[in-house]
């Protein structure tokens, strides 16, 4: 098979009913949900399959819920003997990528994202935050606007998703100021439905505690390559990977650079594993029209069967 990358979504990909067909079909899917519910003490299967969306999208619930579905979809494709040459995940999804690459167990993946969600929720209740997607400007222009208003409050780049889609994060007033500057340059500024200023200094109060919690988890040397959000590069040292994951909380997600790295690595098959199609949409905006690749989604049994027939 051609060089393959698995990539995993994070917050924003959720939908009511996600993972239900796998849960109904496979014992291992039910076992994974049981394990997730034992760790979190949350009825994740009910939230994923029936909602309500308001409860599902609470960060403390959403992080383990999306991760459980990611891991179920991953387990389904692994049962078919499929593995990736390289894995990546967008923000929260990076933990699923760590599991796919053999760095951490599925159980520890769920433990980590649950703790991460708790800490992020805690910090978001202390510090009001906002996030906007700036569409139509390159990263250097957005960063210039961020720098211009930085001294007046907290604002920074959260995600560099595509060449011209950048998410900013910080205090509501400063985010609005950067957005206004962007709109004057004919860009669009789209407020995101989030409960905190993720990937900003406003949640730095979670970093030391999360770093301490990371030290309770055993990290293996990757069995398969993983590309990290904050470096857009590979790393083999387990201790350095732990450090990267602690810093990821307040650092920008360099998704665009990460995908360019995969192009340089000549990856030709891209498989989004987990709910939704958010990352597939980003990929289609990143890749040159003449780049030889195929993109698949494994978010349902039907789509998994299609993938298995075609590769």
CA-closest candidate to residue 88, choices 262, 245, 241, 217: 262
The answer to whether the beta carbons of residues 20 and 49 sit under 8 Å apart is: yes
Separation between Cα atoms, residue 197 and residue 203, nearest integer Å: 7
Q: Is residue 199 annotated as a catalytic residue, yes or no?
A: yes
Separation between Cα atoms, residue 231 and residue 79, nearest integer Å: 31
Separation between Cα atoms, residue 192 and residue 168, nearest integer Å: 10
167 bridge partner residues: 133, 159
Active-site annotation holder among 199, 200, 228, 251: 199
DSSP helix/strand/coil, 234: strand
Q: Which helix (H) or strand (E) holds 179?
A: helix 172-184
* Tokens, residue 166: 């950048």
Separation between Cα atoms, residue 246 and residue 158, nearest integer Å: 15
Active-site annotation holder among 13, 45, 87, 91: 91
CA-closest candidate to residue 130, choices 177, 92, 188: 177
The answer to whether the beta carbons of residues 16 and 62 sit under 8 Å apart is: no
The set of catalytic residues is 91, 199
């Amino acid at each position: 098979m051609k060089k393959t990358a698995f990539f995993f979504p994070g917050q924003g990909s959720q939908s009511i009913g996600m993972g239900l067909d796998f849960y109904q079909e496979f014992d291992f899917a039910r076992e994974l949900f049981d394990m997730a519910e034992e760790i979190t003490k949350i009825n994740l299967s009910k939230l994923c399959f029936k909602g309500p969306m308001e409860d599902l999208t609470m960060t403390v619930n959403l992080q383990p819920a999306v991760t459980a579905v990611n891991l179920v979809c991953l387990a389904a494709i692994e049962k078919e003997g499929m593995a990736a040459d390289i894995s990546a995940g967008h923000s929260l999804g990076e933990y699923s990528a760590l599991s796919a690459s053999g760095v951490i167990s599925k159980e520890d993946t769920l433990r980590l994202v649950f703790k991460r969600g708790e800490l992020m929720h805690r910090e978001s209740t202390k510090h009001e935050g906002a996030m906007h997607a700036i569409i139509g400007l390159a990263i250097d222009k957005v960063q210039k606007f961020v720098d211009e208003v930085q001294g007046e409050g907290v604002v920074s780049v959260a995600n560099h998703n595509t060449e011209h889609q950048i998410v900013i994060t910080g205090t509501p007033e400063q985010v609005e100021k950067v957005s206004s500057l962007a709109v004057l340059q004919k860009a669009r500024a789209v407020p995101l439905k989030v409960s905190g200023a993720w990937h900003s200094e406003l949640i730095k109060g979670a970093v030391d505690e999360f770093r301490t919690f990371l030290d309770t988890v055993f990290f293996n040397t990757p069995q398969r390559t993983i590309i990290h959000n904050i470096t857009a590069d590979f790393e083999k040292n387990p201790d350095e990977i732990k450090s990267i994951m602690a810093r990821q909380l307040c650092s920008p997600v360099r998704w665009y650079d990460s995908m360019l790295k995969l192009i340089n690595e000549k990856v030709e098959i891209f498989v989004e594993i987990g709910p939704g199609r958010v990352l597939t949409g980003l990929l289609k905006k990143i890749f040159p029209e003449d780049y030889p690749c195929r993109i698949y989604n494994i978010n349902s049994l039907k789509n998994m069967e299609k993938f298995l027939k075609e590769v």
